[in-house]
Chains A and B, each alone.
Chain A
Amino acid sequence: MTIETLKIVLRFMLLMLIQVLLLNHINFSGFINPMLYTLALLMVPFEVSIVSGMIIGFITGISLDYFMNSAGMHASACVFMMYVRPRLLKAFGPRDGYEPEAQPSIKTMGNMAFLYFSFFMVAVHHASLFFIEAFSTQHFLFTIGRIILSTIFTVLLVNITQYIMYQSKTR
């Protein structure tokens, strides 16, 4: 239990540092900013309740806000994402239950199910983040375009990272 928890906490810190020091400085065509740190929240174990999930999301979001000067924007988006998580897990998660301490991944859920799950989670996160960031409907189509493109890039990155993680473990 403790080793497993430690691993999860380390994963959170590593992904957040990668996000802040590396990915925030990479912009495809100026405004697409992939958010790999959502992977840490996607992989929170199945059995974690919705309330604990939202609190974990809030802490993760507010830590990133400290780095990015964005006040509570990431916190709000992460809480929103963790609020819809149980519903999406019910829709895409394994039908016949899961082992204790299991985490959502391409291994436990299968490639396609995890792809759908990560897509909807990331879409909720990005939609709420970019609308809060713009805080108006002034450049509505621009914001929509930003949400769609960033979601595609984040989902790609999340699934590729998962693939690499489990590829290296099975070898």
Chain B
Amino acid sequence: MRNLLDFLYKNYVFLVFALLQFVSFYLIANNTYYQRASIVNSANAVTGGVYKEYASANEYVSLRSQNEALSKENAMLHNMLVETHLDLTKLSQLRNDTLYKQQYHYFTAKVINNTVSARNNYITINKGTLQGVKRDMAVIGASGIVGIVQNVSPHYCTAMSLLHKDSRISARIKKNEYFGSLTWSGANYEYADLNDIPKHVKLTKGDTIVTSAYSSIFPEGIIIGRIDKFEIQDAANFYNIRVKLATDYKKLTHVYMVENLLKQELDTLEAKSKENGNDN
């Protein structure tokens, strides 16, 4: 016992060091596995409040370009309205709730903090549980996908940006339906990598990459980007594809949160079939 106390007294500096490092690494380990909520995040009252004040002061600087983008999008949406199309058939338009079930619910939100320079980037958004934000909701911008909601507090939420080590998004090539997974290597916020496209597929520079129907988070067909460069290494069976991202992560202000209203049904069904598969 006395020896132990002596040992502790002699090495207490190193022990304090080891203890603090242990606490840090415990927090890091809890955070990097992204399915679990982390304790340390910017979706709390103090940090969220500071970022909100800063964002509201900063908003004026980008008003012009934001207005342009929003009015462009408005025009596009107007073009989609039934009222802007001539009715050539003279048949009545069906719009019955029992026939058309709404699957995705969109609402707008504002980005109050955002980084692109770290290896793992996060976005803080000014909507929380009180506005109906839930974990794993999709975040998309006017021009393409942005990220996935990770932590939610009453008034704020943080989303894992596409620019993250753990981000893996199911993507497909729009013209020929081949799908692969999209990852980010950490070098440049303008480009991501598309993997798992077999080498017999014909590609051209500029092909559009969109989200696939296999994701229970993102709606199908949301634009991700365009093929910028592709190559096959000698003995490989898959392409190395570099994708120029459609979203400019450097100027992210207004985003849409997307809730998949049928997600729970889908997840329980898939979990059930997995269980059944294990039994056999």
B41 on the A face (CB < 8 A): yes
CB distance from A132 to the nearest CB of B (A): 7
- Decide if A139 touches B25 in the complex (CB within 8 Å): no
Mark out the residues of chain B between 105 and 124 whose CB falls within 8 Å of any chain A CB in the assembled complex: 115-120, 122, 124
Question: Chain B CB within 10 Å — which of A30, A50, A66, A83 has the most?
Answer: A66
- Decide if A133 touches B189 in the complex (CB within 8 Å): no
Of the stretches A19-27, A92-100, A103-111, A161-169, the one at the interface is A19-27
A72 on the B face (CB < 8 A): yes
A interface: dominant SS: helix
- Decide if A83 touches B17 in the complex (CB within 8 Å): yes
A170 on the B face (CB < 8 A): no
User: Binary interface profile of B, 1-20, with partner A (CB < 8 Å = 1, else 0)?
Assistant: 00000000000110011001
Contacts of A73 in B (CB 8 A): 24, 28
- Once the chains are docked, how many angstroms separate the CA of A139 from the CA of B186? 9
Of the stretches A1-9, A39-47, A57-65, A115-123, the one at the interface is A57-65
- Decide if A72 touches B186 in the complex (CB within 8 Å): no
Contact of A71 among B16, B28, B124, B185 (CB under 8 A): B28
Q: How many A-B residue pairs have CB under 8 A?
A: 110
Given contact pairs A30-B117, A31-B117, A68-B118, A76 touches B42 in the complex (Cβ within 8 A) = no
Contacts of A51 in B (CB 8 A): 12-13, 16
Given contact pairs A66-B40, A66-B47, A68-B118, A79 touches B189 in the complex (Cβ within 8 A) = no
> Interface size on B (CB < 8 Å)?
41
Contacts of A67 in B (CB 8 A): 42, 47, 50-51
Size category of the binding interface on chain A: 35 or more
B63 on the A face (CB < 8 A): no
- Once the chains are docked, how many angstroms separate the CA of A65 from the CA of B81? 46
Contacts of B50 in A (CB 8 A): 17, 20-21, 67
B262 on the A face (CB < 8 A): no
Of the stretches B30-38, B127-135, B208-216, B221-229, the one at the interface is B30-38
A147 on the B face (CB < 8 A): no
- Once the chains are docked, how many angstroms separate the CA of A37 from the CA of B25? 21
Interface pairs A-B: 6 shortest CB-CB: A72-B24, A72-B27, A76-B24, A71-B31, A69-B122, A27-B117
Given contacts A58-B24, A71-B40, 15 further A-B contacts (CB under 8 A): A30-B189, A31-B117, A32-B117, A50-B13, A51-B13, A54-B16, A58-B20, A62-B24, A67-B42, A67-B51, A71-B39, A72-B40, A76-B24, A133-B118, A142-B187
B-side interface residues toward A, CB under 8 Å? Answer: 12-13, 16-17, 20-21, 23-28, 30-32, 38-42, 44, 46-47, 50-51, 54, 115-120, 122, 124, 158, 165, 185-189
